[in-house]
Amino acid sequence: MRAPVLAANWKLNHGPTEAAAFLRAFCGRYAPRDDRTVMFFPSALAFAAAREAAAGRADLRFGVQNVAAHDRGAFTGENSAAIARDAGATCVLVGHSERRHVFGETDAETAEKCALAAAHELDPVLCVGEKLDERERGETERVVLRQLRAGIRRLTAQQRARLVIAYEPVWAIGTGRNATPADAAAVHAVVRAELRAEGVPDAVPILYGGSVKPDNAPALLAADGVDGLLVGGASLDVESWLAVVGAR
Ligand code: PEP
């Protein structure tokens, strides 16, 4: 069994002051555990403060929510994988549904970001998931596999072994409507089969994300093939995040 990965996506919340206060409170109440991995994805501007507030906690991983699809140059406002790595990030969310559907990120850009992240030794947390209309048309598998194949296509075997995959049905993100454990298990099985077909080792975890809360986290984590959780709203409050990371 893979040790669960619990990842907090803070989106556009928690500036440096709040992020530092959160981490100080969290570290005071969460002792390192070797049976799970906890990751934080603060905003880029809060990244340093969050990491500094958790100084000495090598058990916690810090990543960024996005990187540019370019290595360097005239791209005002962007952050590159190299800059994120230099700032201390070890992982990056790639292809989050808000990047895809709010900012119009394409599969080609997601592929480029995964390749740049891996080249700069940032582990890509590749997010895939279908929209509600796609699910209703029976296209879940087709959409998820298209996004997955695009994201991993350019990675070497060694880089693929560093991946984390997050299945996040778009209709479940921030809506309060989570997938059932059975819904999640069904898609995770499809993702795992494709990863195996692509030679990706079974040690690569597949997380579920979408309206995870302290009360549904244990059942979702117990679902077949669910190796962890990617959490937005419920990761913003210390109490609820402690409850989620303590699940199972
Ligand atoms: C997310 O941002 O990846 C997410 C799953 O959000 P929420 O938990 O709020 O649905």
Q: Where are the beta strands (DSSP E) in the chain?
A: 5-9, 37-41, 60-64, 91-94, 123-128, 164-167, 206-209, 228-231
Q: Is residue 35 a contact partner of residue 66, using CB atoms and an 8 Å limit?
A: no
pLDDT digits (tens, 9 = 90+) for 30-87: 999 999 999 999 999 999 999 999 999 999 999 999 999 999 999 999 999 999 999 9
Mutation test residue for ligand 1: of 96, 207, 230, the one with most atoms within 8 Å of CB: 230
The residue extents of the domains of the chain are 5-245
pLDDT digits (tens, 9 = 90+) for 191-207: 999 999 999 999 999 99
Is 136 marked active-site? no
Q: Which of 98, 109, 134, 168 is catalytic?
A: 168
State how beta strands 123-128 and 164-167 pair: parallel
Structural fold of domain 5-245: TIM Barrel (3.20.20)
